[in-house]
């Protein structure tokens, strides 16, 4: 049997950067390795906040040694300062992946939601519930940033050896169809 792929999922944020590490097997089953949040205080200068995030991500990379890194893709929001912080934290995550010689990918929120729930507009609770179910957790992962990081990791891990629109058996589940549709829409943008 092929070995599990260890994926570090990152939900970038300047105040709370969610991190989740999962082992995803070729049969799409997955196991939780680590989940957490790297925090930085809003009162600190941006450079110090980014350094704290980088330090936290370096610790996760060194401790859990992922095979790949998956980061939520920055998307347009109304609040410019939120977008800037998210983009800056995302840049740190992608830089650290490259420094560690790891491939990195980005996934849109709708891609991740479709992969996890079968619905690209799922709410936070639906994502948390499905992540808990997939990873066989006794409780919903908290906070939402941590659950999102796990969802990003699962989304990426499920892509391995399975091009969009196909599965090992050649048939798509409803969740996989929704995911493939979300990927096609994202590619057209």
- Please state the residue numbers annotated as binding site for Mg(2+): 11, 72, 145
Q: Strands 5-11, 16-24: parallel, antiparallel or unpaired by DSSP?
A: antiparallel
Of 11, 111, 148, 183, which residue is the catalytic one?
A: 11
What is the Cα–Cα distance from 93 to 88, expressed in whole angstroms?
A: 9
Active site residue 161: no
Of 23, 27, 67, 72, which residue is the catalytic one?
A: 72
Beta carbons within 10 angstroms of residue 13's beta carbon: 22
Q: If DSSP codes are grouped into helix, strand and coil, which group holds residue 179?
A: helix
In 3D space, the residue among 30, 10, 29 whose CA is nearest the CA of residue 20 turns out to be: 10
Active site residue 72: yes
Active site residue 11: yes
What is the Cα–Cα distance from 113 to 45, expressed in whole angstroms?
A: 33
Of 23, 111, 145, 148, which residue is the catalytic one?
A: 145
List the strands of the sheet with 68-72, edge to edge. Answer: 30-39, 16-24, 5-11, 68-72, 103-107
Binding-site residues: 11, 72, 145
In 3D space, the residue among 84, 125, 90, 82 whose CA is nearest the CA of residue 19 turns out to be: 90
Tokens of 141: 């992962």
Tokens of 54: 């980088």
Tokens of 59: 């610790």
Which residues are catalytic, by number? Answer: 11, 72, 145
């Amino acid at each position: 049997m092929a070995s599990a792929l260890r994926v570090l999922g990152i939900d970038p944020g300047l105040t709370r950067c969610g991190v989740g590490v999962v082992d995803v097997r070729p049969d799409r089953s997955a196991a939780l390795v680590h989940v957490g949040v790297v925090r930085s205080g809003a009162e600190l200068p941006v450079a110090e906040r980014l350094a704290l995030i980088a330090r936290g991500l370096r610790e996760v990379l060194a401790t859990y040694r992922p095979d790949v890194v998956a980061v939520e893709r920055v998307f347009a929001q109304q609040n410019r300062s939120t977008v800037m912080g998210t983009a800056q934290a995302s840049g740190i995550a992608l830089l650290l992946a490259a420094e560690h010689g790891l491939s990195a990918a980005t996934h849109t929120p709708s891609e991740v939601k479709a992969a996890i729930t079968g619905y690209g507009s799922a709410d936070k609770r639906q994502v948390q519930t499905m992540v808990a179910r997939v990873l066989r957790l006794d409780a919903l992962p908290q906070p939402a940033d941590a659950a999102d990081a796990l969802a990003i990791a699962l989304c990426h891990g499920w892509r391995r050896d399975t091009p969009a629109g196909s599965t090992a058996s050649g048939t798509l589940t409803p969740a996989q169809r929704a995911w493939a549709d979300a990927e096609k829409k994202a590619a057209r943008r």
